[in-house]
Amino acid sequence: MNRRKFLRRVPAWAAILLAWPVSLRAGILASPVATNRLRPPGAVPEDLFAGRCIRCGRCVEVCPYHAITLLDIRAGVFAGTPLIAVEQIPCTLCMKCVQVCPTGTLARIGQEQTRMGLAVINRFTCLAWSGKTLCRTCYDKCPFKNRAIVLDRLKPVIREDTCTGCGLCTHACPVTDDLGLKAVNIEPIYAHAE
Amino acid sequence: MPMQSETAARPAGPRPVQSGRAGGAGTTAGRYGPWRLLTLFLAFLVILVNPFLNYFFGINWLQGWYQSLGVGHLWFVSPLEGLESLLVTRSLYLPSLIGMAIPLLLAFLLGRVFCSWICPISFFAEIIERCRLPGSRRRGGRVRFGHHLIWFALVAELLLTMILGAPVFVVLSPPGLVGREIMMAVFSRRFALEGLFLVAVLAPELAGRRVFCRSFCPLGGLLALVGARRRMVVTLAPERCIECERCSQACPMALRPARGETLSVYCWNCGACVDACGPAALAFAWDGADPGSRAGVRFAYHFAQGRNEHAQEK
C-alpha cells in the first residue's frame, strides 16, 4: 500500500469510527463493577483500573479460594482484569493478591483497610428484619464480628466505618430473591472515590 | 557505509563451492537451533505448568506469564505493558519499574532475544514452521510486509492507548494471551474469546514467517528500539563468505545476513543464519565488529534498505 492509497482510505476509516454505535462504544468502556461484582482488595479507583492493570493474572493465580476470576473480551477494555463475584465465592481477606500485584493496581493494604464495597441489608427480604425467623447468619460469618455487623434487638445492622465489603455475609445469606440478589449485598460505593 | 564497503571489498571471481553444510572444519550447522527450540519449549512450559501448580497444589512460587512473571520474590514486568500502565495513569510505581529493568537490560544488551528465544508465539511459529506449506520456508515466506511497519505499530499502539485512556496491548498482547488462555482453561474450564486473536496472529505463519512478529508486534518494536545498540550481534567475516545465500533463506525475519543486515535494528539474534552458514562466516560476537561506526548508520541504512526492497516487490 503506498502513501496515496493509504491517505485515500483515511476518510473511510473515520466514517466507520463515527458510525460505530454509541451504545457499543459505551459497552467497550463500561466498568464491570456492580452490586456483588467487586475488585480485589486495595484496588485503585475504577476509572484508573483499566489503565493501570497489566492483566498478568497473578492475583487470580495466587487466590487460594479461587474467589478472583478473570474477565474476558466481553468486558471490553476491562478484558483480563480481576473480578470477585461475592455471592459465588467471597473474599476471605487473606491479602495474598495485594502482595503480588506488580503495578500497584492492588495497593498493599491490610485486612482492616480493605474497602471493596459496603454491605447493605435489604430489610424487606432479610429474614430477621421481616420477622420470619431469628436468622443471624451474616452476623456469625462476618470476620469483624460485632464490629462490622452488630445486632440491634436481634436484627443485623452494618457499621459503615468497619465493613470491608469482603462479601462473606452475602455468600452466607440464605435468601436469594428473583433477581439473584441476597438479603445482604455488597455495593461498590468506594469504586469511584477519590 | 561500512557494510557496503565490506561487500565491495570482497575479491571478485569464482569462489570455491562447498557441497552440503555438514562436515568440514569450522562448520556450525545446528548449533543454536536445538538450543533455541529447547529454550522456547522451557519458556512455554513455565506458563503451561504454573496455572496447574497454583490451582491444584496451591504452590505460588511461580505466578503469571509474560506480561508479569513472578518467580518467588523476583518480578518481571513486560516493558510495553509497564509503559502503557505508566502513560495512562501517569504514576510511577517502584516495583513495576524494577520489574521492567531486567527485561529492558536484556534487550539493551542482547536485542530482541525475548522474541526469538522466549516468546510463546515464537514457539508456536517454530512448530508450525516444521509442518508448513512447501516453498514458504524461504526468504521470509510468501506473506511479507515491510520491516519498518513495526515502528508504526509501536507508535500507533501508544497513541491509541493514550487517546482511549485505556491500554490496548495489555488486552491483546499475543504472548500474554497464550498465558491467559492456559490459565482460563485451568481456572474456569473455558477459553476466553480473545484467544481468536492468537489464531489471527498465527494463521499467516502457514504461508509466511513471523509475519506478526516482524511487522506488527508493538512489544517487538519496543524491544528492537531498546536493543538498537545491543552488545550481542551476529557478525560477518566477509573473507569466509561464499555468497551462497543460505543465511538469507534461513532468516525468519527476511534479512540478508551476508550483506551485513544482522547489524540492523531488525535482527533478533535467533542464530538461524549462524546455523545455516556452511563456511562459518557468521558468528555471534559480543560487542562485535566496530561498534563506533556501526551505531550511527543502523537506522538510516535500514530504513533506506527497507524502502528499496519494498519498491522492488511492487
Are A61 and B55 within 8 A, CB to CB? yes
- Check CB contact of A55 with chain B, cutoff 8 Å: yes
Based on the fold, state whether residues B131 and B188 are members of the same structural domain.
yes
Say which residues have a Cβ less than 8 Å from residue B271's Cβ, sequence separation at least 6: B31, B32, B33, B36, B234, B284
In a domain, B116, yes or no: yes
pLDDT at position B291 is 47
Based on the fold, state whether residues B233 and B191 are members of the same structural domain.
no
Q: What is the pLDDT of residues B248-274, one digit of tens each?
A: 888 888 888 988 888 889 999 999 999
A43: how many CB neighbours lie within 10 A of its CB? 30
Residues lower than pLDDT 70 in chain A: 1-2, 17-27, 193-194
In a domain, B284, yes or no: yes
Q: What are phi and psi of A118, to 5 degrees?
A: -130, 130
- Check CB contact of A58 with chain B, cutoff 8 Å: yes
B166 falls in which pLDDT band (50, 70, 90)? confident
Based on the fold, state whether residues B220 and B236 are members of the same structural domain.
no
Q: What is the pLDDT of residues B195-212, one digit of tens each?
A: 899 999 998 888 888 889
Last residue of a domain, one of B174, B201, B225: B225
pLDDT at position B301 is 45
B295, pLDDT greater than 60: no
B194 falls in which pLDDT band (50, 70, 90)? confident
pLDDT at position A26 is 64
pLDDT at position A74 is 85
Based on the fold, state whether residues B188 and B41 are members of the same structural domain.
yes
Segment B29-47 shows an average pLDDT of: 89
Question: Which chain A residues are closer than 8 Å to B165 by Cβ?
Answer: 51
Last residue of a domain, one of B194, B225, B256: B225
Segment B227-237 shows an average pLDDT of: 89
Based on the fold, state whether residues B209 and B278 are members of the same structural domain.
no
A–B interface: beta-carbon pairs under 8 A: 126
In a domain, B283, yes or no: yes
**Parallel/antiparallel/unpaired status of strands A184-187 and A118-121:** antiparallel
pLDDT at position B140 is 56
Question: Which of A181-190, B22-31, B61-70, B86-95 has the least mean pLDDT?
Answer: B22-31
Question: Which chain A residues are closer than 8 Å to B78 by Cβ?
Answer: 54
Task: Confirm if A77 and A28 have CB atoms less than 8 A apart.
Answer: yes
Please tell me chain B's helix, strand, coil percentages from 3-state DSSP, rounded to the nearest 5: 55, 10, 35
DSSP secondary structure code for residue A192 in this structure = T
Domain count, chain B: 2
pLDDT at position B167 is 82
Based on the fold, state whether residues B118 and B206 are members of the same structural domain.
yes
Helices (H), ranges, B165-270: 169-172, 174-188, 196-202, 211-215, 218-226, 246-250
B1, pLDDT greater than 60: no
Distance from chain centroid for Cα B240:
27
In a domain, B17, yes or no: no
Last residue of a domain, one of B193, B225, B257: B225
In the block, residue with C-alpha cell 455487623:
A149
- Check CB contact of A45 with chain B, cutoff 8 Å: no
Based on the fold, state whether residues B217 and B246 are members of the same structural domain.
no
Which residue type, as a one-letter code, is found at position B214?
Answer: R
Q: How far is A35 from chain B (nearest CA, A)?
A: 22
The total number of residues shown for chain B amounts to: 314
Cα–Cα dist B234/B222, whole Å: 20
- Check CB contact of A95 with chain B, cutoff 8 Å: no
Domain that includes residue B304, residue range? 2-8+228-313
Q: What is the pLDDT of residues B101-136, one digit of tens each?
A: 999 999 999 999 999 999 999 999 998 887 765 555
pLDDT at position B142 is 61
Instruction: Compare A85 and B305 and report the one with higher pLDDT.
Output: A85
Nearest of B173, B160, B165, B269 to residue B216 by alpha carbon: B173
pLDDT at position A113 is 92
B312, pLDDT greater than 50: no
Based on the fold, state whether residues B198 and B296 are members of the same structural domain.
no
Segment B141-147 shows an average pLDDT of: 73
- Check CB contact of A174 with chain B, cutoff 8 Å: no
Based on the fold, state whether residues B159 and B307 are members of the same structural domain.
no
Are B187 and A69 within 8 A, CB to CB? yes
pLDDT at position A194 is 54
Segment B42-58 shows an average pLDDT of: 93
The domain segmentation of chain A, as residue ranges, is 32-187
Task: Confirm if B167 and B237 have CB atoms less than 8 A apart.
Answer: no
Cα–Cα dist B269/A76, whole Å: 36
Segment B20-42 shows an average pLDDT of: 69
Question: Which of A177-191, B165-179, B213-227 has the least mean pLDDT?
Answer: B165-179
DSSP secondary structure code for residue A80 in this structure = T
